[in-house]
Amino acid sequence: MIIRRNNKILLGKRLNSHGSETWSPPGGHLEFMETIEACVKREVMEETGCLIANIQPPAFTEEFHIEEDKHYLNFMLTADWQSNEPQRLEPDKCAGWEWFFWDDLPSPLFLPLQNHIDQGFNPFE
């Protein structure tokens, strides 16, 4: 979930999971019978405490994490930050949240985000 605020996006450094030590937007897995929009609102709240608005339809990529024997379809939605400063609510999963300009992202990026960028995804277009 790409959250936009003042021409920046919110990223956190992943810990203790696939993609550890890479920069990623908030996100997670769908719960049974949960819509994608409900999922992103829930995941953003659980991970950052932020409220979001203006959720845009998703783009998706397919990733193979061979070393972990996992295959994912990753949906990237875009929304605007609405309220609440980002908090580190899952310290075992995230080193902290920071805002970055789209043309000055940290490295390395989480594979799904990098794949979206490589396919031309831009949350500001």
Class at the top of the CATH hierarchy for domain 2-118: alpha beta
Mapped onto helix, strand or coil, the DSSP state of residue 37 is helix
Largest CA distance in the chain: 38
Query: pLDDT tens across 61-81, in order?
Result: 888 888 889 888 888 899 999
Average pLDDT, the chain: 94
Q: Is the pLDDT of residue 5 over 90?
A: yes
Domain range summary for the chain, segments of one domain joined by +: 2-118
Residue 51 CB-density burial (10 A; 0-12 exposed, 13-18 middle, 19+ buried) = middle
